[in-house]
Amino acid sequence: MHRFLVLRPLAAATLFAAAALSGCASLQSSDSFLGVITPYRVEIVQGNVVTKEQLAQIKPGMARAQVRDILGSPLLTDIFHGNRWDYVFTIKRQGTEPQSRRVVLLFDDDVLKSIDAPPEMPSEREFVASITSAKNKPSGSPPVLELSEEQRKALPVPPPAPAASAAEPLGPARPYPPLEASAR
């Protein structure tokens, strides 16, 4: 009888803990808790961003160094396939759709042989627009980055720079001996 009295509270505590932890799993699948609290999701960005403009610059026949200058170092280089470079890009960001792209370059020794890229590569502007969430997009018109002529005239005039006096020597104050001994 004494055993059952000890096991009953232990079983109740275990059952309560299991029920509480099962509620945590439902928080993982939803975007908010009770519609009020939105948990923070870590942004995961991996790889090299390759845009349509960058792909237009590389052509078969280019050297590896030229391709690396344009696209950067590849994310994957396989020691068993030394003539293959993989540029992989993935991004998972809160408020935007996940993206994943892969560009494969094949080399013949040091010369680019072929480019395997998806046809729907984004331009740089399209890529920036796709990763900017609705709450991070700037509202209104862009700021003016230049002063108008009226604003320039309203600026205070800077004081004139002090003029260098003719009495000050421009070089060293004392003469130094020559660097090489004179031939006698």
pLDDT at 1 exceeding the cut of 90: no
Q: What is the per-residue pLDDT for 24? A: 55
Domain positions in the chain: 44-131
Tell me which residue of 96, 120, 116 sits closest to 106, measured CA to CA: 116
Tens digit of pLDDT for each residue in 5-21? 556 777 777 777 666 65
Which of the four pLDDT bands, split at 50, 70 and 90, describes residue 113? very high
| Distance, CA of 105 to CA of 54 (rounded, Å) | 13
pLDDT digits (tens, 9 = 90+) for 19-66: 665 555 544 455 555 667 777 778 888 888 899 999 999 999 999 999
pLDDT value at residue 27: 47
Confidence (pLDDT) at 134: 56
Mean pLDDT of 118-131: 85
Q: 97 or 148: which carries more pLDDT confidence? A: 148
pLDDT, tens only, 131-172: 775 555 666 777 788 889 999 999 998 888 877 665 666 666
pLDDT of residue 48: 85
The CA–CA distances, whole Å, from 155 to 48, 132, 147, 150, 178 equal 45, 37, 10, 9, 52
Alpha-carbon distance of 91 to 56, in angstroms, equals 23
| CATH tag, 44-131 | 3.30.1450
